[in-house]
């Protein structure tokens, strides 16, 4: 949905139940015209969709978001200031669900932390 449009992956490293990615935001994407004019910010829903897409890439299948046990948006991502962010996604299969821990960061600056559950689509 967003991959190749709002963002592209510059790097990808996977090992077992974890993936580390380098995400490059497309500052020219139309979403930034309305969010917000003159002060572009990656919308929280787009951050969450990016996490879901990275999880799907890691699992090689479609998933559905079920619930968030913890979801914190700690800093705004301005695609001009932080055009590249690191994303980490870790999962564990438990009782038919996919338990996920994810974050979006740039060096020591954390933009989003997430813990929650997905299920197979």
Q: What is the residue range of 94's domain?
A: 42-121
Instruction: Please report whether residue 5 resides in a domain.
Output: no
Is the model's pLDDT at 100 over the cut of 90? yes
Greatest CA separation for the chain? 46
Instruction: Please report whether residue 83 resides in a domain.
Output: yes
| Spatial distance between the Cα atoms of 87 and 47, rounded to a whole number of angstroms | 10
- The mean predicted confidence, pLDDT, of the chain is 97
Q: Is the pTM value of this prediction over 0.95?
A: yes
| Per-residue CA distances from 88 to 37, 38, 79, 83 (Å) | 29, 29, 18, 17
Mean pLDDT of 107-120: 98
Q: Tell me, what's the pLDDT at 37?
A: 86
Is the model's pLDDT at 107 over the cut of 90? yes
Asked if residue 34 lies in contact with residue 1, where contact means CB atoms within 8 angstroms, the answer is: no
Per residue in 20-57, pLDDT (tens digit) is: 999 999 999 999 999 888 899 999 999 999 999 999 99
DSSP code of residue 49: H
Instruction: Please report whether residue 17 resides in a domain.
Output: no
Q: Say how many CA atoms lie within 13 Å of 9 toward its Cβ.
A: 16
What SS3 class is residue 35?
A: coil
Instruction: Please report whether residue 104 resides in a domain.
Output: yes
Q: Token digits for 14?
A: 């996977």
Instruction: Please report whether residue 15 resides in a domain.
Output: no
Identify whether 36 is preceded by a cis peptide bond (ω within 30 of 0): yes
């Amino acid at each position: 949905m967003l991959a190749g449009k709002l963002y592209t992956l510059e790097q990808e490293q996977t090992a077992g139940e974890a993936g580390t990615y380098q995400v490059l935001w497309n500052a020219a994407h139309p979403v930034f015209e309305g969010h917000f004019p003159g002060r572009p910010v990656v919308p929280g829903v787009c951050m969450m969709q990016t996490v879901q897409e990275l999880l799907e890439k890691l699992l090689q299948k479609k998933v559905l978001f079920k619930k968030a046990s913890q979801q914190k948006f700690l800093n705004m991502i301005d695609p001009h200031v932080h055009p590249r962010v690191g994303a980490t996604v870790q999962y564990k299969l438990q009782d038919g669900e996919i338990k996920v821990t994810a974050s979006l960061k740039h060096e020591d600056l954390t933009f989003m932390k997430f813990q929650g559950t997905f299920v197979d689509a």
